[in-house]
Amino acid sequence: MPQYAVQPCTIDDGADIARVHVSAFWTEPAWKIIWPNKTREYVTNECKKRMPFNIITDPIYRRQQKAVDTGTGRIVGYARWTLPELDGVEVGSLWPGAKAAEVSGERKQAAAEASASADWAYDGQVTSELDKAVDQMKKELLSKKQYIVLDILGVHPDVWRQGVANLLLNSGLKAIREFEVKLDVFVVAKSAGVGVYDKAGLKKVGEVIQDGSSVGIDTDYAAWFYVWEAEN
């Protein structure tokens, strides 16, 4: 079996991370349907225009890691975390090993222009009614305290069930556990991630499961909410 390593991300990883990101989320019927008349290849190419700028955006609060096949150098997984704003804490100094490397002003401008040129016009109205219940529960849960939010945990389908998601998740949790300030982690999971979070011992704090037939999918339109507690 291939060996995988967790590494920080750079702007040069943008195209490969876009490939992983779209390939992973295209397996979710509810994500796929918001791109009517667009192929996975098309969406991937447009995402490649956006991802380099995304990687270098919001460096104070955003932390990112990639999983790499050590034999081939191929990026196979990606995780993005967002730290909260904290009084009396220099958030930008936390977890420096997962901060994207800075780039020149010229390169940042070029990345911003490429991102702005991307066709990222998805049809969010398709799932808007079902999203209301998900968004409401997320809002209620996040109002209870300040969390680190695991925004994205995506693994290329070619390497599913090879421990890549667990590797990325555990790498992040290990780093967060070592923070001087204790912060819990909040995650909204789709079906592919439930087993990963259960295995890692995160606590399920809510779920929203709705009939997906109203939006043309033959599975439930579902979201599961998890919390990892730093004190445990």
In the chain, where the domains are located: 4-228
* Rounded Cα gap, residues 61 and 161, in angstroms: 30
Tokens of 125: 């109205």
The CB-side HSE value for 68 (13 A sphere, CA atoms) comes to 14
Q: What is the pTM of this model?
A: 0.95
User: 3-class DSSP state for residue 97?
Assistant: helix
Residue 201 CB neighbour total at 10 angstroms: 11
232: pLDDT confidence band, cut at 50, 70 and 90?
A: low
User: 3-class DSSP state for residue 195?
Assistant: helix
CATH superfamily of 4-228: Gcn5-related N-acetyltransferase (GNAT) (3.40.630.30)
Residue 145 CB neighbour total at 10 angstroms: 11
For the stretch 29-64, pLDDT in tens is 989 999 999 999 999 999 999 999 999 999 999 999
For the stretch 94-111, pLDDT in tens is 999 999 999 999 999 999
Q: How far is CA 157 from the centre of its chain?
A: 15
